Amino acid sequence: RIVIPGHGEPFRDVAAALDRAYRRVEAFEADEMRIARHAAKVILTFNLLHRRRMPVADLPAYIDRIGIYRDLNARVLRIPPADLASMLVTELTRAGAVRVEAGDLVPA
| H or E stretch at 47 | helix 32-51
DSSP character string of 54-72: EEGGGHHHHHHHSHHHHHH
* Mean pLDDT, residues 93-104: 95
Residue 10 has pLDDT above 90, yes or no: yes
CB contact at 8 A, 73 and 63: yes
Question: Is this prediction's pTM over 0.75?
Answer: yes
Per-residue pLDDT, 28: 80
Mean pLDDT of the chain: 92
pLDDT tens digits, one per residue of 59-81 = 999 999 999 999 999 999 999 99
Per-residue pLDDT, 63: 92
pLDDT tens digits, one per residue of 37-59 = 999 999 999 999 999 999 999 99
